[in-house]
Amino acid sequence: MITSQQMRAARALLGIDQRQLAELAGLSLPTIQRMEASNGQVRGVVDTLVKVIGALESNGIELLGEYSSSTGQGRGVRLREAALADPARPGRGLLSAKFPSRPEIR
């Protein structure tokens, strides 16, 4: 479903830390820390995984699965060019509302 490496890469693309991801997903910081500390595919309660994936995707992250269409191979993440929630700030759907003081990342 999602790997710990994908979670860390997605956070890096969004420029957020674990605490901010926890807030966006409606989870606790220790839950995010445990998920990212796992080796390989993140295991846990399906509802928790869905919350994290939903938070990332609503902020412009596209998760690439093992056999997704791409020029490379393997898993990965991609920042979409446009997010529906805030067209003026691509990839910043919920972030623009939750963290308005964050500088624009270019």
SS (H, E, C) 12-41: HHHCCCHHHHHHHHCCCHHHHHHHHHCCCE
Tell me: the pLDDT tens digits for 22-73?
999 999 999 999 999 998 889 889 999 999 999 999 999 988 876 555 544 4
Bigger pLDDT: 92 or 4?
4
Q: In the predicted model, what is the mean pLDDT of residues 6-22?
A: 95
Output the average pLDDT for the chain. Answer: 77
For the chain, list the domains and their CATH numbers: 4-98 (1.10.260.40)
pLDDT reported for residue 95: 52
| Distance of alpha carbon 23 from the chain centroid | 12
Q: Are 2 and 63 in contact (CB under 8 A)?
A: yes
Confidence (pTM):
0.68
